[in-house]
Structures are given as structure tokens and as C-alpha cells.
Amino acid sequence: MTIADLVSPHTCQTSDRCGSPPCFQGKLWATADSRAIHKCAASCAIHLGDMVLGLTAWAQDHDIPSAELEVLVVDPAVPLHTPAESANGYAFATILIV
């Protein structure tokens, strides 16, 4: 999976062949070399695990020593927000990536 920048997707970002609306959003937060790092992705229910693994791999590939991944349940009918904006969903998990 390639983690692209989130631009209010209307379909799951974790598979090119998936046309399902996203119902989960992952927001990765980290600090490295005194700079804030934010990355997010959206997925359908089937690809939730792929999204978490993809964001984790992205952090490791970019030599981010530790990060926090917040997973939100979102309404597919409401536009998604970028990491820096406030959440529009229910945060049900926070995963520490080390």
C-alpha cells in the first residue's frame, strides 16, 4: 500500500481496486528533528488493517523513531479532514509506533 496525502477521498485509499467509501481514518502524529510530522489515510472496514500497517511502514521507512497513530471511525458521507484539522469522527484506538 502506498500512503498518499489525504485529499478528501471518496473511496478507500488502501487498494486501487476498492471502491468502497472510507469509514475509518488513520492519523499519524510524530516529532522528528524538531519538526512536526502528520500523515493520514482513509480506509473501508475491510482494509482497516492494511491502513494501519501502511502508516506504520511509512513511519519506519521515513526513520521516524516514535509516532502515535490515532484511528477514527468516520461517517462516509462527511468529508475527511487532514491531520492538522480537528477530527470529524470517533477516535476508538490510539497506537504507539516505536
pLDDT tens, the chain, 98 aa long: 445 555 456 788 888 788 899 999 999 998 877 788 888 888 999 999 999 999 999 999 988 888 999 999 988 777 665 554 555 678 888 888 87
Closest C-alpha among 53, 94, 47 to residue 71: 94
* CA–CA gap between residue 42 and residue 51 (Å, rounded): 7
* Per-residue pLDDT at 32: 76
Only one residue has cell 497513530, namely: 69
Q: What stretch of H or E contains 39?
A: strand 35-43
Closest C-alpha among 83, 84, 88 to residue 55: 83
* CA–CA gap between residue 66 and residue 68 (Å, rounded): 7
